[in-house]
Structure 1
Amino acid sequence: MRAFVATSHDTAPSLSDISVPEPDIGEIRVKVEACGLNFADLLMAAGTYQETPPLPFVLGMEVAGTIDAVGPDVTGFAPGDRVAVFGGKGGLAEYGCFDVSRAVHLPDAMPFTHAAAFQVAYGTSHLALSHRARLLPGETLLVLGAAGGVGLTAVEIGKLMGARVVACARGSDKLDAAKAAGADVLIDAQTDDIRAVMKDLGGADVVYDPVGGDQFTAAFRSCRPEARILTIGFASGEVPQIKANHLLVKNISVLGLYWGGYLHFRPDVLTESLSTLMGWYSQGRIKPHVSHILALEQAADGLELLRSRKSTGKVVITLS
């Protein structure tokens, strides 16, 4: 079968022919129809992600497709079932074997391209805003990187939760996407002063930050007392250094959120969150924004879109 494989952290992943895997105990084999790309795929390929598997490995953290075989001791799932899986790796291939505990059944009306763009982006934002930051109706939410894979879902979910949403992104096209997702106020990161705009708005109660760097610093200085800052990632490449005395003086909380980590210590929280999100999708309250749908042969191009921050919402690779 065809697969997009990382063989070294010093060279780019490439398309290869490898054997079709066989499901082990507790595993399902999925005929992959679509795979959503994530910034973490870039970090994994470089060997800098917190859960980088041993080489060689197939990239692709989240997939959607149809079960075509099950291993021993699998219950609740059968060949023919349509599923989405957060496998952590293995998704950029025609077939993949994944632990059944990481699979969810798909609503009949959800296309595979939406399902492959759903779990990480929506799961991250919902868990961050509802479980970690406890965002309240009427609060002001500042979303950095607001047109990216997770940022756009934070805008959408924040609006659903009743917040006033301020979206910060680079350029008019990305700001248009954030406005369509429900943003009330737009900040162009290329030309506007984040701190000045937020000061005029009375400051931020919650900051959602997948960017880091200078934008984190500006957002930090824009916070109201008792604000909560969510550190989601560092797409800028710069991890901000936080002075504890500034936290003390302003009574600010900085909260980390690694969505995949909940699989290991609180899977119930993650499962409940995904159940809520699937319900919202079925009700038409949320709709994944996919800016690029590419073939497996274009997986490298898809990753470059993420690296150069030229995409809005999600980039999805299809395999059929």
Structure 2
Amino acid sequence: MRAVRIHRYSAFEDLELEQDVPRPELLPRQVRIAVKAAPLSIALHLMAKGDYQRRPPLPYVPGGEVSGVVTEIAEGVDRLKVGDRVAGIIDWGAMAEEAVGYDATLYPIPDGMPFPEAASLSPSYATSMAALTWRHQLDVQPGEWLLVHGAAGGVGLAAVEIGKALGAKVIAVVGSQEKADFIAAHGADHTVIHTEANFRERVMDLTGGRGADAVFETVGGDSFMQSLRCMAPGSRICVIGFAGGTVPQIPANHLLVKNITVCGLFLGYYCGWGREDVRYDHRDRLAADVERLTAWWREGKLSLHTSHVLPLAEFQEAMRIVTSREAMGRVVVVP
């Protein structure tokens, strides 16, 4: 089969699309998938270079997010069958014509949901869903002010749309007027271009001097530090990633005087990507989230917007679009 394969840790531009890669082995509780779409991300870029917290054994086919059609099932699979249209998270191997994944983190998708859009359902929308609704995360309530950083990216867009579905008032922070217009069209109540305005002052103005009740933080560095200064008493901030490249050192005195809660979310932990494999312990909770997301999509509350769809052969250009921050929504490749 055709697939991108990593033989040694390197930049994406050094990889090649190979024409005769062996089909992946099908293990118990796994299904084989004819891949229809595979999203790319900054995490995938870091993983290829060996700079991510997770390192699959070499050689491997990159890609931990997939949508496609089930073509074969192994012993122990109890939720999927051959012919099902599915989307979700696998260990790796999505950037190929075929992939395998455990049934615990693959979810049936409606016939009317296009595969490129479905590929964003989990983990992009599932990540934002968990961050915004789980009790030990942001637990956003109707009427609260939600501040979303990196709002035009894959998980940021998801956070904006889910925040609106939950009844929150959403302030979206982006990097350009084009992205501000885009995210406003997807439901953000207010937008702030961080290169042109002090988002802390803007947030305080918009909230009447009180500050944000919940912060969805994807950037790190100064973005995180300034967020602490525009949060309401008793508010929450969730760390999703460090797209800005700097991991912040959190001043505990800020947390103390405003009773701020800091949490973090690595959805991969619940999907078998952590030090221990707990995917089957959490599959019902994740499946319920995906079912709720699918219902919102049917109601028109979620777009699952895809920014770019490229052939698998153009995977290098797809990654360039991701790393250059050109995308608004997800970038996917299709075999």
TM-score (norm 2): 0.91
Counterpart check, 1:21 vs 2:31 = no
Name the structure 1 match of 2:231: 223
Q: Secondary structure at the match of 1:50?
A: coil
Deviation at 1:88, TM superposition (A): 3.1
Measured in 1, the distance between the counterparts of 2:166 and 2:88 equals: 26
Name the structure 1 match of 2:6: 6
Q: Secondary structure at the match of 1:32?
A: strand
Name the structure 1 match of 2:274: none
Distance change >3 Å, CA 24–CA 262, structure 1 → 2: closer
Q: Secondary structure at the match of 2:154?
A: coil
Question: Please, which moves more after superposition, 41-50 or 218-227?
Answer: 41-50
Question: Please, which moves more after superposition, 69-78 or 22-31?
Answer: 69-78
Name the structure 2 match of 1:311: 327
Name the structure 2 match of 1:57: 60
Of the three residues 168, 175, 185, the one matched with 1:170 is: 175
Name the structure 2 match of 1:181: 186
RMSD: 1.4
Are the counterparts in 2 of residues 30 and 96 from structure 1 also a CA contact under 8 Å?
yes
Measured in 1, the distance between the counterparts of 2:330 and 2:10 equals: 26
Name the structure 2 match of 1:289: 305
Q: Secondary structure at the match of 2:34?
A: strand
Measured in 1, the distance between the counterparts of 2:117 and 2:78 equals: 25
Matches within 5 A, 1:101-116: 101-116=104-119
Report the AA paired with residue 137 of structure 1: P
Measured in 1, the distance between the counterparts of 2:89 and 2:224 equals: 29
Report the AA paired with residue 241 of structure 2: G
Deviation at 1:245, TM superposition (A): 1.9
Question: Please, which moves more after superposition, 115-124 or 265-274?
Answer: 265-274
Q: Which runs of 5+ in 1 are unaligned?
A: none
Matches within 5 A, 1:139-288: 139-201=144-206, 202=209, 203-263=211-271, 264=278, 266-288=282-304
Are the counterparts in 2 of residues 107 and 282 from structure 1 also a CA contact under 8 Å?
no
Identical columns (%): 41
Question: Please, which moves more after superposition, 269-278 or 8-17?
Answer: 8-17
Measured in 1, the distance between the counterparts of 2:62 and 2:295 equals: 29
1:138-164 per-position Cα deviation (integer Å, ceiling 9, x unaligned): 111111101001001111111111111
Q: Which runs of 5+ in 2 are unaligned?
A: 272-277
Report the AA paired with residue 256 of structure 1: G
Distance change >3 Å, CA 146–CA 295, structure 1 → 2: same
Are the counterparts in 1 of residues 11 and 45 from structure 2 also a CA contact under 8 Å?
no
Counterpart check, 1:32 vs 2:40 = no
Question: Please, which moves more after superposition, 42-51 or 106-115?
Answer: 42-51
1:240-290 per-position Cα deviation (integer Å, ceiling 9, x unaligned): 110112211121111101112123253332222111111111222211111
Measured in 1, the distance between the counterparts of 2:122 and 2:166 equals: 19
Counterpart check, 1:90 vs 2:98 = no
Measured in 1, the distance between the counterparts of 2:230 and 2:264 equals: 19
TM-score (norm 1): 0.95
Are the counterparts in 2 of residues 262 and 269 from structure 1 also a CA contact under 8 Å?
no
Report the AA paired with residue 289 of structure 1: H
Aligned length: 319
Measured in 1, the distance between the counterparts of 2:123 and 2:79 equals: 23
Q: Secondary structure at the match of 2:80?
A: coil
